[in-house]
């Protein structure tokens, strides 16, 4: 362990984990008296929506509810074991600690961010022998990000419609992803374990001495049973793929083909595998495929889950965003490819090349989850960029200038990361200007009343949430683990229709008979009425005889649907 991870690497990993935690500490320190910081990032704006979703999942694990349900929709639906299992398990772990769910979320994010940095170092060590080369690849895999922010100056009209990807598409970069979500860091770690376990398994099958040569100069494939090392690596591969299927099931279209292509290369070209030994891959790939098929079938086994799957649209932005977003990697990578063809390095390098190529093909493939295949692609890009920098760029520079050039280049490549940290620190130090990620005294008093007075977390609360994810629905699900009517643009079934229904509910021209029937149809027990609800319409629930105000504090009022309506 000490030999694999020098002390400097440990310190670097801890420093990056601490750096990504600093904005959240600022948020906690900045909360005014009587206020409470939720734990969410302020930027990107979608981070709050995802944070609320993940904490809601953790509530279910905290309550030992292992079959995951959507708390953001009112329809009854079956729970799905293993689906969203990472956060359900994290919630169960939180039950064993004295900390709240947001604190456990960030403790996990800190630990996994540090682990991700260490894993990237190991991945770099697979390709580079010298420590300086490993450091370069690790820096490319962590602090480097994109340059699509240049569009702010080059084409402001374009960014008026869609911001540079560094400021919202956190899946695209390792450390930016780890800044907001622990499962992103966990997925990157597991990806590295998968590919290195596969490589180690193949290596364990190679004989220590050269095999006899066939006619034509190619060696015969090895024969015999798996070695003890091979069995261990196969088990590690199987477990890692199973973990990946739970943490990042969308990646099946990436890692399944990647392993199959690499296996085919070792079987038919490098001749490190024969048919009998290649057949052992059926165990990890079969387990992986079974978990993916189970989740896919489960998601389409019920209309509510099918609506969730259909709304899970994460399409790619225009290609210009990707070209500029990954320009810091592309610039050294392209000349490096020419040197690569001349050098003809060993076949370890097929792994990052194929990984990046498959991601490029999936980004605009006819699937609704195009952007999700970006998660972790910075890892292979980092070693390819480091190779190009070391073999194609540095040789053109004077020896004395090479360290300075590397520092300047990586410094420019880290501008987006520094900007994201700075913007979040600035935003979270001004809570009254960014109220969405803080709970006001009125919110906290209402939360306390609901914990004390409500009969159960299954009591449906009529909430509001707009297309940007702002509103009371996500807040209640995260703060209380409460079931809400409207709260998440993916996890609320028929989201657009429900937004329209709530707007009609608060429309002063709507008939009271319609409102009464609407509340009865959805089974609402409470109405959460606050500033967000008032933005949906001017109708005031205080006018309704069938609603009883059971709590009021400043800008928040909770109404209970009366028994008269419930029995009518």
Average model confidence (pLDDT) across the chain:
93
The mean pLDDT value for 404-411 works out to 97
- Whether 118 has a pLDDT exceeding 90, the answer reads yes
What is the reported pLDDT for 225?
A: 57
Long-range contacts of 421-425 (CB under 8 A, 24+ apart): 421/19, 421/20, 421/22, 421/23, 421/179, 423/42, 423/43, 424/23, 424/26, 424/41, 424/42, 424/43, 424/179, 425/22, 425/23, 425/26
Task: Pick the range with the lowest mean pLDDT from 14-23, 127-136, 252-261, 464-473.
Answer: 464-473
The mean pLDDT value for 514-543 works out to 95
What is the reported pLDDT for 344?
A: 76
What is the reported pLDDT for 206?
A: 65
What is the reported pLDDT for 397?
A: 94
- Whether 212 has a pLDDT exceeding 60, the answer reads no
What is the reported pLDDT for 3?
A: 56
Contacts of 458 (CB under 8 A, 6+ apart): 483
What Cα–Cα distance (Å) separates residue 286 from each residue in 275, 466, 486, 536? 17, 41, 38, 49
Pinpoint the alpha helices (H) of 280-435: 282-299, 303-311, 319-325, 327-343, 350-362, 378-388, 402-413, 415-428
Provide the residue count of the chain.
568
Model confidence pLDDT, tens digit, residues 294-306 = 999 999 999 999 9
What is the reported pLDDT for 228?
A: 85
pLDDT band of 230, cuts 50, 70, 90 = confident
Model confidence pLDDT, tens digit, residues 78-96 = 999 999 999 999 999 999 9
pLDDT band of 455, cuts 50, 70, 90 = low
- Cis check: omega of the bond before 32, within 30 degrees of 0: no
% the chain with pLDDT above 70: 95
pLDDT band of 30, cuts 50, 70, 90 = very high
- Whether 315 has a pLDDT exceeding 80, the answer reads yes
Model confidence pLDDT, tens digit, residues 214-225 = 455 554 444 445
pLDDT band of 347, cuts 50, 70, 90 = confident
Whole-model pTM: value is 0.94
- Whether 254 has a pLDDT exceeding 70, the answer reads yes
- Whether 468 has a pLDDT exceeding 50, the answer reads yes
pLDDT band of 72, cuts 50, 70, 90 = very high
- Whether 277 has a pLDDT exceeding 60, the answer reads yes
What is the reported pLDDT for 273?
A: 87
Cα dihedral 192/194/200/203 (nearest 10): -120
Using alpha carbons, select from 112, 82, 104, 372 the residue that is nearest to residue 243. 82
pLDDT band of 207, cuts 50, 70, 90 = low
DSSP string, 446-481: HHHHHHHH-S-TTSEEE--B-TTS-BHHHHHHHHH-
Q: Edge-to-edge, what's the strand order for the sheet holding 460-462?
A: 460-462, 524-529, 556-561, 547-553
Three-state secondary structure string covering 228-254: HHHHHHHHHHHHHHHHHHHHCHHHHHH
What is the reported pLDDT for 565?
A: 52
What is the reported pLDDT for 221?
A: 44
């Amino acid at each position: 362990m000490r030999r694999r991870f020098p002390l400097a690497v440990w310190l670097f990993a801890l420093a990056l984990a601490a750096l990504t935690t600093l904005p959240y500490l600022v948020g906690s320190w900045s909360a005014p008296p009587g206020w409470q910081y939720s734990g969410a990032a302020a930027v990107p704006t979608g981070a709050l929506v995802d944070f609320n979703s993940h904490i809601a999942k953790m509530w279910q694990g905290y309550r030992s509810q292992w079959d995951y349900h959507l708390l953001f929709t009112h329809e009854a639906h079956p729970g799905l074991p293993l689906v969203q299992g990472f956060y359900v398990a994290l919630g169960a772990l939180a039950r064993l600690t004295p900390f709240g769910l947001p604190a456990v979320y960030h403790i996990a994010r800190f630990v996994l961010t540090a682990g991700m940095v260490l894993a990237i170092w190991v991945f770099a060590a697979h390709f580079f022998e010298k420590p300086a080369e490993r450091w370069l690849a690790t820096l490319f895999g962590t602090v480097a990000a994109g340059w699509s922010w240049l569009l702010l100056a080059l084409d402001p009209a374009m960014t008026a419609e869609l911001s540079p990807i560094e400021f919202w598409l956190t899946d695209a970069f390792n450390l930016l992803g780890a800044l907001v979500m622990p499962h992103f860091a966990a997925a990157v770690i597991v990806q590295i374990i998968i590919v290195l376990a596969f490589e180690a398994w193949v290596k364990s099958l190679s004989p220590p001495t050269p095999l006899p040569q066939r006619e034509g100069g190619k060696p015969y494939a090895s024969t015999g049973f798996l070695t003890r090392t091979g069995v261990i690596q196969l088990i590690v591969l199987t477990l890692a793929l199973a973990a990946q299927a739970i943490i990042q099931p969308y990646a099946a279209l990436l890692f399944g083909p990647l392993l199959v292509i690499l296996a085919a290369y070792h079987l038919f070209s490098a001749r490190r595998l024969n048919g009998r030994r290649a057949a052992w891959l059926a165990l990890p790939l079969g387990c992986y495929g079974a978990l993916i098929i189970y989740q896919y079938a489960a998601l389409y086994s019920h209309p509510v889950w099918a609506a969730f799957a259909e709304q899970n649209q994460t399409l790619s932005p225009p290609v210009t965003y990707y070209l500029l977003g990954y320009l810091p990697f592309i610039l050294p990578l392209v000349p490096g490819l020419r040197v690569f063809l001349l050098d003809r390095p060993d076949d370890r390098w097929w792994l990052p090349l194929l990984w990046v190529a498959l991601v490029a093909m999936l980004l605009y493939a006819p699937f609704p989850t195009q952007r999700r295949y970006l998660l972790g692609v910075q890892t292979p890009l980092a070693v390819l960029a480091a190779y190009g920098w070391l073999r194609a760029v540095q040789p053109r520079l004077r020896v004395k200038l090479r360290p300075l050039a590397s520092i300047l280049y990586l410094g420019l490549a880290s501008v987006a990361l520094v900007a994201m940290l700075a913007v979040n620190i600035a935003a979270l130090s001004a809570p009254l200007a960014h109220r969405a990620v803080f709970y006001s005294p009125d919110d906290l008093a209402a939360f306390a009343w609901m914990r004390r007075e409500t009969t159960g977390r299954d009591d449906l609360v009529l909430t509001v949430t707009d297309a940007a994810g702002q509103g009371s629905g996500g807040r209640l699900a995260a703060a209380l683990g409460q079931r809400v009517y409207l709260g998440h643009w993916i996890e609320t079934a028929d989201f657009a229709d429900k937004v329209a229904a709530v707007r009609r509910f608060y429309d002063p021209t709507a008939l009271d008979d319609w409102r009464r029937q609407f509340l009865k149809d959805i089974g609402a027990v409470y109405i959460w009425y606050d500033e967000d609800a008032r933005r949906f319409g001017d109708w005031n629930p205080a006018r309704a005889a069938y609603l009883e105000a059971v709590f009021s504090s400043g800008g928040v009022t909770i109404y209970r649907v009366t028994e008269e309506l419930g029995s009518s």
